[in-house]
Amino acid sequence: MAKTIVVKQVGSPIRRPEKQRQTLIGLGLNKMNRTRELEDTPSVRGMVNSIPHLVQIVEERG
């Protein structure tokens, strides 16, 4: 089984640049305190690292 990470949205996309909003949507997040379990790939890590003020990694599995 592949490694996964659990990502939680902790910041609001209100008054944020469109690129940051699109990154949240790309991660499958759109409302506060939602979590998603995503595959731990370099592209997902890059997306999370580009918006660290809006998301946090809750757990790493695998």
**Extents of the domains making up the chain:** 4-61
Tens digit of each residue's pLDDT, the chain (62 residues): 689 999 999 999 999 999 999 999 999 999 999 999 999 999 999 999 999 999 999 999 98
Residues 6 or more apart from 45 whose CB is under 8 A from it?
5
Question: What pLDDT score was predicted for residue 1?
Answer: 64
Question: What pLDDT score was predicted for residue 56?
Answer: 97
pTM of the predicted model, to two decimals?
A: 0.92
- Tell me how far the alpha carbon of residue 41 is from its chain's centroid: 12
Phi, psi of 3 (to 5 degrees): -70, 145
CATH (residue range 4-61): 3.30.1390.20
**Other residues' Cβ atoms within 10 Å of the Cβ of residue 8:** 15
Residue carrying structure tokens 């890590």: 45
Question: What pLDDT score was predicted for residue 62?
Answer: 87
H helix and E strand count, the chain: 2, 3
